[in-house]
Amino acid sequence: GQQVMQIPQYQHVQEGEDFTTYCNSSTTLSNIQWYKQRPGGHPVFLIQLVKSGEVKKQKRLTFQFGEAKKNSSLHITATQTTDVGTYFCAGEGSGGSYIPTFGRGTSLIVHP
Amino acid sequence: DSGVTQTPKHLITATGQRVTLRCSPRSGDLSVYWYQQSLDQGLQFLIQYYNGEERAKGNILERFSAQQFPDLHSELNLSSLELGDSALYFCASTTGMNYGYTFGSGTRLTVV
């Protein structure tokens, strides 16, 4: 079945440093979604990427979808303590199931 | 408030028991998805309902069952509970393919 791998599992940064998490799928995806889960909270939808090579920005967050639609990344510039949480990617396969497979997530810890 | 309502927030029960988790999707959403989140398995898709009918099944154990009622709320029934069933159970709904999933605040189940 479809597998979505996400690295790293944890990332410690000093406030102001950049952060990147990577997501890789074993199969071609129709789209990829990104979610953020604050400690003790629930996953919150951030964005969806659909097109090959697509790049989207939300303030300090930059999301990329690979040309082969099998990998994606989320980059945060100049992290802030409010960025703390676990970032998940979720890929929907191209077989039309419309059920996203979630990566294990990357937990971001920002030290002030 | 995400618009997806889950009750109860916390549940503590003994092994061998049966519990029911409840979810009301966001107004206007016809689909309900159930996910299990544990530390070692991440977010695992359990089952999806659409307008009262089962649409997709994931890694759902035979001891678990679900249904969606005419008013679109859904219930997840977990029986013969084991210690390993302790986890966060999330319900999510979606307006459509391009809008991501809206998660409820989850039910934390502890089996003792």
Per-residue pLDDT tens digits for B28-83: 999 999 999 998 778 999 999 999 999 999 989 999 999 999 999 999 999 999 99
The answer for B 24-83 residues in CB contact with A (under 8 A) is 33, 35, 42-45, 48, 56, 58
Alpha-carbon span A23 to A73, nearest angstrom: 6
Residue-level pLDDT at A42: 96
* pLDDT at A88 exceeding the cut of 90: yes
Shortest CA gap B42–chain A (Å): 5
With an 8 Å Cβ cutoff, is B2 touching chain A? Answer: yes
Between B96 and B89, the more confident residue is: B89
Can you tell me the mean pLDDT for B12-34? 96
- Among A76-80, B91-95, B97-101, the range scoring the smallest mean pLDDT is B97-101
- The SS3 call for residue B7 is strand
Residue-level pLDDT at A7: 96
With an 8 Å Cβ cutoff, is B95 touching chain A? Answer: no
How many angstroms separate the Cα of B26 from the Cα of each of A88, A92, B17, B87, B92? 22, 21, 30, 23, 9
Alpha-carbon span A23 to A66, nearest angstrom: 10
Residues sharing a CB contact under 8 Å with residue B62, sequence separation 6 or more, in sequence order: none
* pLDDT band at residue A97 under the 50/70/90 scheme: low
Can you tell me the mean pLDDT for A2-26? 95
The answer for A 43-102 residues in CB contact with B (under 8 A) is 43-48, 50, 88, 90, 92, 97-102
On whether the CB atoms of residues B59 and B47 are closer than 8 A, the answer is no
> In the Cβ-directed half-sphere of A33, how many Cα atoms lie within 13 Å?
21
Residue-level pLDDT at B71: 95
A99–B58: do the CB atoms touch at under 8 Å?
Answer: yes
Alpha-carbon span B80 to B67, nearest angstrom: 18
Residue-level pLDDT at B39: 80
Residue-level pLDDT at B34: 97
Per-residue pLDDT of A40-53, as tens digits, reads 999 999 999 999 99
**Residue A90: closest CA among A1, A20, A5:** A5
Q: CA angle, corner B93, sides to A26 and B81, nearest 5?
A: 80
* pLDDT at A38 exceeding the cut of 90: yes
With beta carbons under 8 A apart, name residues in chain B contacting A105.
42-43
